[in-house]
Amino acid sequence: MWHTPKSISVPTANLRQWLLKPAIWCLFCFNTAAYAAVSPIPLLVEQCLNYQFPTKSNLDNQANKPNENISFIIENEAIALERNLIGFFNINDRLKYYRHFPLTYADRERVLQCQLYLADELALFFKSAEFQSIRFKLAASQDPNIQALAKRINRLAKNTEKPYDKAQLHTAQATFKQGVSSQSLSLNFIGERCKLDQTAAITEQVTTEQVTPQRNKSFNDSLASYLIKQPNEQCRKQVWQAYQGRASVKNHTALMQITELRQQQATQAGFTDYVDTMLSQQWLAEPSLVAKFLDAQTQAINIAPWDLGQLLAKAQSTKVESYSSKLWLQQIGTVLETLGIRFSEVNPKLYRIYHEDRLIGEVYVNLGKRIKAKAIRHTVVGQQFGQFELTLLTDLNQYKTQSQVINVIAQIVSQLASGDKYYLNNTLGETQDSAQIDLLWLQTWLKAKLLPTPTQGSREAILQRYSAQLQVFRAKVALNTYLAADSTNKFDLNKAFTLAFGKNWDNISDSAYSFSAIVYQGPIYYQNIWQQAVANDIYQSTKDCQNQKRVFNNLVVNETASDLATRLQLLLGEPITSDSLIKRTQYAFNHQDQHPRSCTFLRQ
């Protein structure tokens, strides 16, 4: 149900500290409509470039008294660090938010200048004597919240790249992404064998060049249209393969430069290869574990990528009841009350969200052409409320659009409900490959309550199975790309592709040039599949528990800052190792629940 808003009660001291910070106050001044009138970028960038990272002098403003015990001193250090960095975090979040707007050239340059400044200053801070002193003190704490903060801030410091390497890496990544996303390439077909509606001449040899084929009204010159309309499988295969390899020549140099830079980083850090470097900071901490997980997730769906379009065109969509976006939000809000979450409508464009009667944030709602949620400011308990902008379609009459709204609402709620008093604990996961397990569980939980299960053979069911196997295959490609040449964990990609899709890819080496995430996520591309599998297993293990609110509080809120292993043991009812969790998640992507379980969580 929806409720009228209650008054907001904030301790005067906390409010005064919050509002007196100029960086934070500026960020609170602008709402989502203000940008249309006057650009806030110049003022935001001015404050960004004037921001000062913590130094010994301003950290000493919260000096410790001689008779204080060590735990109290460490807690004061952590609080002082948080207060001094909260302005940086808010400015950084606000810059990310405004990057989604159609900025002028001057504003884009200002934002870029500001981002470079913040990145460089943060790197310098991590190398400073002040930070090293704080770092050692935090590591000695027995407080779970401070231990969690120490792990996250150490990970940030460890992953800060040298300016020269960073410049080279970002340039190569941008080049690679541009090559993959380029829309200037068109297929050049010569010959008659694959002729389609007199549109273009197509031969057994298909290449990608900057050539525009002849057109008529029956063909829109897109890859998807061709694959749906072309009855000849061999022609479809050739066109699909040519498209996947369209950037292989252009991007070869960029990918080689990226892998060489990553290998240099690994060698300097004392690791065999970049895979070892990255996995040392993950839940699946060894290449053999990732390989084992990916093998366990591989299923023979026997749907070749070039046949997917025709299969989807013939399939029926899962039917759903049509809703306006406002009514669908009400449906989601009603279901979320089971978890202690309450939506309160201030006006049609502003909602407040409460957890157990505690205000956790605000959401500005707009109508647009795409469903999306953008963070304006993140929740930090005792410091600030969170703010999000939510863009919705006017009407939601498809399974896909209703599912997308559930996804973005879960994203908002999972972040706002995070129950820690430190920014990094609320915004960074314990590891990169565990950071979104709570979000994905909440999405799964909401969809089970609000949406019908996709019928077997429906478009949604087909697409879910295909997307899962495409991610698994690409994760294998990414792992191979960054492993040492003599690694025993490398996959046979020809075999891996054929096993999943039932057909062979003639130029399998092109697979490394077909998706830009390979240069951004690299060997941890598997993280999305892994986290979804774990989230599904948690849902199956706890869905029959009567007290779902306690599941939510344990997994999402996590006020006690318990580590993932502790929470999983409580939720799943048994001690968890990487091997045991891999076995539990083996069937996580199946549309049917093959392993139903009775509730073992908090039986008392």
**Could you read off the pLDDT of 235-244 as tens digits, one per residue?**
999 989 988 9
453-465 mean pLDDT? 93
Residue 345 confidence class, pLDDT cut points 50, 70, 90: very high
- For residue 367, the model assigns a pLDDT of 95
- Among residues 364, 386, 382, the alpha carbon closest in space to that of 373 is found at 364
Please, which residues have CB within 8 angstroms of residue 246's CB and are 6 or more apart in sequence?
Answer: 182, 185, 208
**Could you read off the pLDDT of 142-197 as tens digits, one per residue?**
999 999 999 999 888 887 766 667 788 989 999 999 888 875 556 665 556 776 76
Residue of 200 and 119 predicted with greater confidence? 119
Say if residue 588's pLDDT is above 80. no
Residue whose structure tokens are 């060997």? 523
- For residue 189, the model assigns a pLDDT of 59
Residue of 341 and 15 predicted with greater confidence? 341
126-141 mean pLDDT? 89
* Number of residues that make up the chain: 604
Strand-by-strand arrangement of the 372-377 sheet: 341-347, 350-355, 358-367, 386-392, 372-377
User: How crowded is the C-beta side of 239, counted as CA atoms within 13 Å?
Assistant: 31
216-245 mean pLDDT? 79
Q: Considering the chain, what is the average pLDDT of its residues? A: 84
Say if residue 227's pLDDT is above 60. yes
380 token code pair: 């930090």
Residue of 230 and 35 predicted with greater confidence? 230
- For residue 415, the model assigns a pLDDT of 95
Separation of alpha carbons 553 and 533, rounded Å: 20
DSSP letter for each residue of 21-73:
-HHHHHHHH--TTHHHHS--HHHHHHHHHH-----HHHHGGGPPPTTS-HHHH
- Helices then strands, counting H and E runs in the chain, come out as 27, 9
Q: Work out the percent of the chain whose per-residue pLDDT is above 90.
A: 61
- For residue 191, the model assigns a pLDDT of 57
Radius of gyration from C-alpha coordinates of the chain: 26
Cβ pair 113, 103 in contact under 8 A: no
**Could you read off the pLDDT of 486-527 as tens digits, one per residue?**
999 999 999 999 999 999 999 999 999 999 999 999 999 999
Q: Report residue 207: phi and psi, to 5°.
A: -125, 170
Say if residue 373's pLDDT is above 80. yes
**Could you read off the pLDDT of 571-582 as tens digits, one per residue?**
998 899 999 999
Say if residue 361's pLDDT is above 90. yes
304-329 mean pLDDT? 95
Q: Report residue 46: phi and psi, to 5°.
A: -60, -45
Say if residue 110's pLDDT is above 70. yes
**Could you read off the pLDDT of 36-89 as tens digits, one per residue?**
447 889 999 999 999 988 876 566 555 455 556 788 888 888 988 888 889 999
